[in-house]
Structure 1
Amino acid sequence: MPTELEELVGFIAHPNPQIRLAAAENLVPYSTAEPAIFKAEELKPVKNLKLLVKDHPKIAKHVLTILVNVSGDPEVLNEMVKDDKFLELVFQYIVNPEEPNANLLAMLLANLAKWDGIKSVLQRKQQAPEALGSDDVVLNQLMDLFVKGQDGAYNKNADFDYLAYVFADLAKHAEIRQYFVNPQPYDGVIPLTKLKVFTEHKSDVRRKGVASTIKNVAFDVQSHPSFLSAGGIDILPYVLLPITGSEEYEVDDAMAMLPDLQLLPPDKRRDPDSTVVQTHVETLTLLTTTREGRELMREVRVYPIVRETHLRVDDGAVREACERLVQVLMRDEEEPDANAKGRVQEIEGAEDDEIVEV
């Protein structure tokens, strides 16, 4: 005999929409408390839930919440990401400016992006809504959603902050790193330059995801000249400002610092999230891979900023990251850098792999 809970799970496929709504709403708590119930009968509940994403928005809201919460399970994740029609549906719905559950779709994509095969999004195409002003490349549409959709500007029901986590995971793949550092034909803009402006955004999720994206793209050493060029990505001001406070920096020539870091207001605060600070320091360390990168950082007086960050952020991981960077900046260029490979391996091990839950 099926238990009450098993019967409740069965009701999500009921032909009566009111019963489906009640079942989905009541099942939401179990998606975190007892997620295994959704794997019964060879994942039949998950298969039903995927279909219900197209249901009435009130039902779809609970369905998507459940899918977000159970997608941390490898079997459930595999069931969703191998279903091309389901992925197509997710991408079609999220770009709709009237979609009431767009933020939940963004959260779901953030978890689906943990699957290595999600890099196939680079080849995906679909027609973009006219209001989005994008081309038919799905990845460009997600980027424009993130940029134009902050604070409900594109869709009053969504801020699309969780797409930052999607970009961070996508940037772990070498081929997609190339997307982030090259101008796109439809607007001539380098995608990473669209993201860098959010390193000091009010949203913790947006800041954290963007910081991780920048760091992961920075593993592409060939793109470092563009990272450091004022005419390219020009990333240094956007990585240094979040780790900079209002304290006065003891430098021999304050005018040598980047213009954006001179004469900061007295209420300037460094990012309150120590993991974000750590990520930015690790990005700076990656950008010391080339001699040009190291010399530029010395020239614009990065060391005093890192020194103050080390002193003022009470976090062991941040201090270790600062110490690794300082060792590089203070090293004589004539000395062999025997620890370069080790630094990169340490930074790779620090990537964020958390699963989103609602």
Structure 2
Amino acid sequence: MATQLEELVSFLHSPQPAVRQIALDNLVGFSTGPTSTLFKYDNLTPVKDLKQLAQENSRILVQQSVTILANLCDDPQMRRAISEDTNFVKYLASKICDQENTSADIMCILLSNLAKDDSITKIFDMVRETTPEKREKEKGIFASDKIMDCLMDCFVKGNDRKLNKFANYDYLAYFFADIARFLKGRSYFIEQQEYDGVVPLSKLLVFTEKYDSKTRREGVASTIKNSLFDSETHDRLLKDENINLLPYILLPITSAKDSEIDEEDMFNLPDELQLLPEAKRRDPVPSIICVHLESILLLCTTHAAREYLRSKSVYPLVRELHKNVEDENIADLCYRVVNMLMRGEPEAEAVEELPSKKFGRW
């Protein structure tokens, strides 16, 4: 059986398109679990072949080969063989930005899986190559040739298939979340970008309440959290009106039915949380609420940020969440937030930088 499978992966290298197609048809099912080691055959030659097939013009060939590559990313050795190939990563990211690409979404999944390795940060130095004709056609969509800027524009402007009828780009949220684990990534999301004068994180915040896409909400919530691991940036992120971070962390954990917030606390809340419509509901996924609570905990790291959170009535909101949602993980995080915000500040002054391992970065 092993010999037959090894022979099958060798067909990925065949000069005959029909043979390569038959091989792919039969190999997709072997790309997950223990059988995925099959693709390490002959010094990872099948992985090299799959990267070539992912650049073919055939939609079926591309989708199957990219699907296999995405599955193989569970194995660190094979993931590195893909992520450290600068030319392939540049091709993949550039192709995602092609509005006529019928395989953009599966490519977004592959790109997000590659972001587990720090080598992916080279994407910040990549520039998208395009023709004058295509540049003219894309005017108003991409104002920058930097690939990372283009991916951001695809995610924000391409929501609900507005740019590409074949893609919604939701899985780029997971890519953003993973790349924000690295200093270069965090710096990108929280600094104003030259090409449009906007802080990228501020473009993502609106998606924290996109309740028809768990993928988008979850990835954006984790991108926010991972962007908060440098406490010296907290004061600016909280107080810069052009970013306006806090309401978009609090809205997903809040419901209009949280009725026991007194009038004084209510009017200390950020404007966006005052007098919520009756239909306002909190995020239906407890794990996403937990991510937002972890973001609040990270913001509790500094004295200035704790004072700001107190002034914005964060404690009453967390109290209502704890009272109205029965989930053990949410309850534990609520308790920790309350402990940070309500205990005496002289004792809290001794709080050190919160270790990232407590939160399990995305």
* TM-score calculated relative to the size of structure 2: 0.91
Q: How does 1:182-261 map to 2 (within 5 A)?
A: 182-201=191-210, 202-247=212-257, 248-253=259-264, 254-261=266-273
> Whole-Å Cα distance in 2 between the matches of residues 165 and 134 of structure 1?
23
Residue by residue over 1:227-264, the C-alpha shift from the partner in whole angstroms, topping out at 9 and shown as x without a partner, is 11252311111000000012213225122222211222
1:50 aligns to what SS in structure 2?
A: helix
Conservation of the 8 A alpha-carbon contact between 2:95 and 2:101? yes
Matched, 1:312 2:324: yes
Shift of 1:351: 2.8
Matched, 1:268 2:280: yes
Matched, 1:164 2:165: no
> Whole-Å Cα distance in 2 between the matches of residues 203 and 25 of structure 1?
30
Q: How does 1:1-358 map to 2 (within 5 A)?
A: 3-33=3-33, 34-55=35-56, 56-127=58-129, 130=135, 131=138, 132-201=141-210, 202-247=212-257, 248-253=259-264, 254-341=266-353, 344-345=354-355, 347-353=356-362
Distance 1:225 1:127, change over 3 A: farther
Conservation of the 8 A alpha-carbon contact between 1:288 and 1:328? yes
Shift of 1:127: 3.3
Between stretches 192-201 and 21-30, larger displacement belongs to 21-30
Conservation of the 8 A alpha-carbon contact between 2:340 and 2:348? no
Listed as ranges, the gaps of 5+ residues in structure 1 are 354-358
Residue by residue over 1:1-35, the C-alpha shift from the partner in whole angstroms, topping out at 9 and shown as x without a partner, is 96332332222222222222222122111112421
Shift of 1:38: 1.0
> Whole-Å Cα distance in 1 between the matches of residues 267 and 118 of structure 2?
45
* Matched residue count: 350
> Whole-Å Cα distance in 2 between the matches of residues 13 and 323 of structure 1?
57
Counterpart AA for 1:99: N
Shift of 1:206: 0.7
Between stretches 117-126 and 203-212, larger displacement belongs to 117-126
Shift of 1:161: 0.8
Conservation of the 8 A alpha-carbon contact between 1:228 and 1:236? yes
Conservation of the 8 A alpha-carbon contact between 2:303 and 2:349? no
Shift of 1:57: 1.8
Shift of 1:159: 0.8
Residue by residue over 1:264-301, the C-alpha shift from the partner in whole angstroms, topping out at 9 and shown as x without a partner, is 22232211111111111111111122222212221221
> Whole-Å Cα distance in 2 between the matches of residues 331 and 260 of structure 1?
27
Between stretches 183-192 and 126-135, larger displacement belongs to 126-135
> Whole-Å Cα distance in 2 between the matches of residues 105 and 278 of structure 1?
28
Shift of 1:108: 0.5
Listed as ranges, the gaps of 5+ residues in structure 2 are none
Conservation of the 8 A alpha-carbon contact between 1:183 and 1:190? yes
Counterpart AA for 1:251: D
> Whole-Å Cα distance in 2 between the matches of residues 349 and 290 of structure 1?
17
* TM-score calculated relative to the size of structure 1: 0.92
Residue by residue over 1:129-185, the C-alpha shift from the partner in whole angstroms, topping out at 9 and shown as x without a partner, is 532323121111111111111111111111111111111111111232121111111
Counterpart AA for 1:51: Q
Counterpart AA for 1:47: K
Counterpart AA for 2:235: P
> Whole-Å Cα distance in 2 between the matches of residues 85 and 185 of structure 1?
25
Counterpart AA for 2:106: L
Shift of 1:311: 2.4
Q: Percent identity between the aligned chains?
A: 41
Shift of 1:63: 0.5
